Amino acid sequence: MINSSLKQLGQQLASKQVSSVELTQAYLQRMAQLNPTINAYVTIDEDKTLAQAKAADARIAAGDFGPLTGIPLAQKDIFCAKGWRTTCSSKMLETFISPYDAHVISQFDAAGAVNLGKTNMDEFAMGSSNETSYFGGVKNPWDFDRVPGGSSGGSAAAVAARLCAAATGTDTGGSIRQPASLCGFTGLKPTYGLVSRYGMIAFASSLDQAGPMAKSAEDCALMLNVMAGFDERDSTSVNREKEDYTRGLANMTGAQPLKGLRIGLPKEYFAEGLSADVAQVIETAIAEYKKLGAEIVEVSLPNNNLSIPVYYVLAPAEASSNLSRYDGVRYGHRAAEYNDLMEMYMKSRAEGFGAEVKRRILIGTYVLSAGYYDAYYLKAQQIRRLIAQDFVEAFKHCDVIMGPAAPSTAFKAGEKTSDPVAMYLEDLYTIAVNLAGLPGMSIPAGFAQNSEGKALPVGLQIIGNYFDEARMLEIGHAYQQVTDWHTRMPEGI
Amino acid sequence: MQWEVVIGLETHTQLQTKSKQFSGASTTYGAEPNTQACEVSIALPGVLPVLNKEAVECAIKFGLAIEAEMAPRSVFSRKNYFYPDLPKGYQISQFELPVVGKGKITIQVPATKNTEAYEKVINITRAHLEEDAGKSVHGAVEGMSGIDLNRAGTPLLEIVTEPDMRSAAEAVAYAKKLHELVQWIGICDGNMQEGSFRCDVNVSVRPKGSDKLGTRREIKNLNSFKFMQQAIEYETQWQIETLEDGGTIQQATVLFNPDTGETRAMRSKEEANDYRYFPDPDLLPLEVTEADKARVKALMPELPQALQARLVSEYQLSSYDASTLTASRSQADYFVATVAAGAEPKQAANWVMGALSAKLNAEEKSIVDSPVSAAQLAALLKRIADNTISNNAAKQVFEGLWAGEGEVDAIIEAKGLKQVSDTGAIEAIINEVLAANQAMVDEYKAGKEKAFNALVGQCMKASKGKANPAQVNELLKAKLG
């Protein structure tokens, strides 16, 4: 049951082969057994969860239900959920109970989904390994010595270890796609503006975007159906007609369902920085796409090498301002002792934030300072436009872009913590997509044997044009009809 | 040395919107602390701002009223600083691209003992939308400071002038004019006590004739015109004395103490914050199209300057009268309503600016609360025009209206103020008066014009003031002629 697709689970619930309470309990038991080791969840509240499952069963009994009613999901702890502790994996918000629901949470509530708990993450989503979490790192279910990626590391491990049917994540520079690659599942970062950011704790507002993390493209489509949609509380939410992201999936059958599809391979994605074992898996996956009818064209994203430096100006700039509200005045951590207001601010923030968060606040404050703004922030904004323009050019020659989602397979815990730049390079293939506001996804494409002889998952990244999620999901689904990487589970758990 | 003072104003006008600048929380003044602070006002994690369209409309109205340049696209920025009453740690404001650009306001500086009244054009640099902060409340709890976030996020339009004013009188005239204008176009209630209209005044002095600006000090949060006048005068004198004593002026923010009448530096601008402005990524640029402007224009009342021109051309009022009547929208509305109800314009103007205004001042009433309605005043003036009552009698009727004694005709009836216009009756009175005052008649005939007036007076007295004076004049002249 734990390896079933969302569609299968939905059918079992609808036909009352299993109740939501039974299904939820199965996951809760698994969580009780595995979470102490994996540390995917930071908050579990069985009473709340089971109450939702009971309510879902009542809806099913009353015939008032949809595809996700009664399905147990994991929610990244970046989404405010009413009555739930919402921490962003920071000491700053260790005791914060949200009095309101994020848009994403209320959408899932309305759909009747069950919230299994809040998942671990890098503190305020700043990190690529989940190691900056105040609540400790998360184990990669494929190899407990290794990181799950980040920042959505808890959701990633929960999906990979089948501690949930599916999960939510957020992606500011790769935080859905890189963990999806490292943990071997399907993760989609939608077009900026497709999913409301209301109630999603801000890291870098112009880049943050919520998306689904699930076993398959089909599952992601069902999740996105619930998550996407206009919300007037988010001014950057795009007002467009709702679509059914599953609508084209059934057509992905036959010998060459992708006939005519032009896949662009950016030469910059297959250059220095990409490990050979990952490159090989990607090439094999591309070959599979050719068999499905796609044609391959080479494209270029000449400014891709600038995406990391640009990101590490813009994201910290926005973050330094977004995190100013954590001042100890109204909620969150406040130092126990202080002599005056300034000392209360300084001690509360010094105690409440971890090292990576402080580093980014410092960088962001610096680049926005008088005398530096033009050289850093403004210049970075200009280059950001060039990076977006690269994609506009590339999409003149292809329908989607493919490449790796991460430069290597999962690395060992502690391996990159002392070298921030090495950690930042984890997002070499994902950050430009956020800067351009484009949708990107990572699907399981195979395994690479590491030096210790362990097979670790590799993700293939698919980058689409704006609001092309439905097509991207079809393309992922077509591949998953002829491969079984997405059904593989880590052994022994 | 002769000194010249240079003054510029920054005015925070609180916009009359139902909800806050970036959230749906109410903006009503005086509620219990933190009862009008929604999740956005408190800046909970994850909340986002949504621009209030009503506030944008207010800004457009102001831009239209001062014939300002309005950028088709303006940008909201974050002004970053830490303060307990600033929940997000930044204020959303407009920095590089404000919604309203350069415009003009014409002020009337009143006459003084030594100077004539004059008009002057004050250039407006810009006006931008921003949100207000909350309030720190000290002393409510022993040893603690409280924070009230009811006001946090309240929409403001900050209106900035060029340093165009050269005296406290000009600054006050500008502030009053602006105060009237924002109320006229309905974007601000103008309540200075509640902080709806707050002026910061930048003051510097320089040797007369110099074209270089001196170092300015900013007097913060003046909440009455009287204090503004006092504060500027004190500050100007202080700066001149400091410079004449060989000192220098440090750029600073100063507060005015109404009890001592002095200004005192609050903080030196040298330690000023670096606000690290950058465009707010949570808000899209604000687009104001020609269509938006046209739509808002249609919602606006006739502007004071247009109404003034119309009063001159249509009603043949003097430009002085027109400008006085349009000093406030409520007074202008009252006047227009009086004329619309049938009163003769010049007479209506005299009464509104004269008797009515004096009575309202004496009883400290606003014209909107006038016990005498525009329709009643018009009815009264019609009775003067049709010779039913004399001007003097009209004053008694006005008092009766004020006291709520009834409608115009009823009061005339009750007080017996009807003017006698019957030729026969007046002739009878004249005959009596002439018979009784032969000496005066002789004087008149001997060429003393004054005697004629005395005879008119006697006739009026004999009629107990009710005779139509014009008729008395006419008939008396005929008799004596």
Indicate yes or no: CB of B48 within 8 angstroms of CB of A234: yes
**pLDDT tens figures, B347-362:** 999 999 999 999 999 9
Instruction: Give dist(CA A328, CA A92) in Å, integer.
Output: 8
Contact list in A for residue B282 (CB cut-off 8 A) is: 202, 205, 235-236
Distance CA B356, CA A434 (A): 68
Spell out a b/e string for A165-203, using b for 16 or more CB atoms within 10 Å of the CB, else e. Answer: bbbbbbbbbbbbbbbbbbbbbbbbbbbbbbbbbbbbbbb
Please report the pLDDT score of residue B268 as a whole number.
Answer: 58
Report residue B33 CA to chain centroid gap. 31
Half-sphere exposure of B158 (CA within 13 A, CB side): 17
* Domain ranges across chain A: 1-493
Interface of A with B in 12-71 (CB under 8 A): none
Residue B44 contacts A where some CB pair is shorter than 8 Å: yes
Contacts by B229-232 with C-beta closer than 8 Å and gap 24+? B229/B168, B229/B169, B229/B171, B229/B172, B230/B256, B230/B258, B230/B261, B231/B201, B231/B256, B231/B263, B232/B5, B232/B7, B232/B168, B232/B171, B232/B172, B232/B201, B232/B203
Cβ(A331)–Cβ(B294) under 8 Å? no
In this prediction, residue B267 carries a pLDDT of: 64
C-alpha dist (Å) from residue A84 to A48, A109, A126: 9, 13, 22
Token pair belonging to B334: 């009252």
Handedness of CA A359, A364, A370, A373 (dihedral sign): positive
Query: How confident is the model over A417-432, as a mean pLDDT?
Result: 91
Mean pLDDT, chain A, rounded, equals 97
State whether B48 and A373 contact (CB < 8 Å). no
Mutate to test the interface with B, among A123, A231, A232, A233 (most CBs of B within 10 A): A233
Residue B427 clears pLDDT 90, i.e. is over it:
no
**Model confidence band, residue A453 (pLDDT cutoffs 50, 70, 90):** confident
Range B282-303 average pLDDT: 96
Pairing of strands B3-14, B73-74: unpaired
Which of A331-335, A351-355, A379-383, B430-434 comes out lowest in average pLDDT?
A: B430-434
> Does B44 sit within 8 Å of A99, measured CB to CB?
yes
Nearest CA in chain B to A372: B276
- Mean per-residue pLDDT, A300-326: 97
- The string over B265-286, giving b where at least 16 C-beta atoms fall within 10 Å of a residue's C-beta and e elsewhere, is eeeeeeeeeebbbbbbbbbeeb
Candidate from B46, B51, B276 with C-beta closest to A102? B46
What are the sequence ranges of the domains in chain B? 3-291, 302-415, 423-480
| Amino acid, single-letter form, for residue A312 | Y
Active-site annotation holder among A151, A152, A237, A348 = A151
Q: How many CB atoms lie within 10 A of CB B442?
A: 11
**pLDDT score, position B225:** 95
CB contact under 8 A, A368 and B276: yes
Instruction: Indicate if the pLDDT at residue B75 is higher than 90.
Output: yes
- B89 contacts chain A (CB < 8 A): yes
A199/B276 Cβ within 8 A: no
Say what the pLDDT of residue B89 is: 97
Q: How many CB atoms lie within 10 A of CB A447?
A: 18
Q: Check: CATH 3.40.50.620 for A1-493?
A: no
Q: What is the mean pLDDT of residues B332-345?
A: 95
B24 interfaces chain A, CB cutoff of 8 Å: no
Chain A CA closest to residue B91:
A321
Interface A:B, Cβ pairs < 8 A: 97
Q: Does A343 touch chain B (CB under 8 A)?
A: no
Of the listed ranges A100-104, A360-364, B106-110, the one predicted with least confidence = B106-110
**pLDDT tens per residue across span B127-149:** 999 999 999 888 877 878 899 99
Q: B interface mutation test: which of A325, A339, A342, A353 has the most B CBs within 10 A?
A: A325
State residue B187 phi and psi, 5-degree precision. Answer: -105, -10
Q: Are B66 and B105 in contact (CB under 8 A)?
A: yes
CB–CB contact B45 A329 (8 Å) = no
Mean of pLDDT over chain B: 92
User: In chain A, which among 63-92 make CB contacts under 8 A with chain B?
Assistant: 79-80, 86, 88
Let me know if A151 is a catalytic residue: yes
Nearest beta carbon to residue B45 from set A93, A206, A234: A93
Q: What is the mean pLDDT of residues A366-378?
A: 96
Query: What dihedral angle (degrees, nearest 10) is formed by the CA atoms of A371, A372, A378, A381?
Result: -170
Q: Do A80 and B45 touch (CB under 8 A)?
A: yes
Which pLDDT band holds residue B272 (cuts at 50, 70, 90)? low
Q: Is A374 on the interface with B (CB under 8 A)?
A: no
Catalytic residue among A5, A19, A76, A348: A76
Q: Is A96 on the interface with B (CB under 8 A)?
A: yes
Task: Tell me if residue A7 is catalytic.
Answer: no
How would you label B354-375 residue by residue, b for 16+ Cβ within 10 Å and e otherwise? ebbbebbeeeeeebeebebebb
| Secondary structure in 3-state letters for B369-406 | HCCCCHHHHHHHHHHHHCCCCCHHHHHHHHHHHHCCCC
Q: What is the pLDDT of residues A396-418, one digit of tens each?
A: 999 999 999 999 999 999 999 88
A175 is catalytic: yes
Residue A175's nearest CA partner among A138, A129, A221 is: A129
> How high is the pLDDT of residue B479?
84
pLDDT interval class at B418 (50, 70, 90) = confident
Give how far A101 is from chain B: nearest CA, Å: 10
Residue A1 and residue B368: Cα distance in Å, rounded? 76
pLDDT of residue B161: 98
| pLDDT at residue B270 is higher than 60 | no
Q: Which chain A residues are closer than 8 Å to B147 by Cβ? A: 329-330
Q: What is the pLDDT of residue B17?
A: 95
pLDDT for B271 equals 55
Is the pLDDT reported for residue B173 higher than 90? yes
Least confidently predicted of B263-272, B301-310, B449-458: B263-272
Per CATH, the architecture of B423-480 is what?
Answer: Orthogonal Bundle (1.10)
For chain B, say whether A325 makes contact (Cβ under 8 Å).
yes
Q: Within chain A, what is the greatest distance between any pair of CA atoms? A: 74
Q: Is A385 on the interface with B (CB under 8 A)?
A: no
> Which of chain B's residues have a Cβ under 8 Å away from the Cβ of A199?
46-47
Q: Read off the pLDDT of residues A223-274 as tens digits, 9 standing for 90 and up.
A: 999 999 999 999 999 999 999 999 999 999 998 999 999 999 999 999 988 9
Q: Nearest C-alpha of chain B: how many angstroms from A491?
A: 38
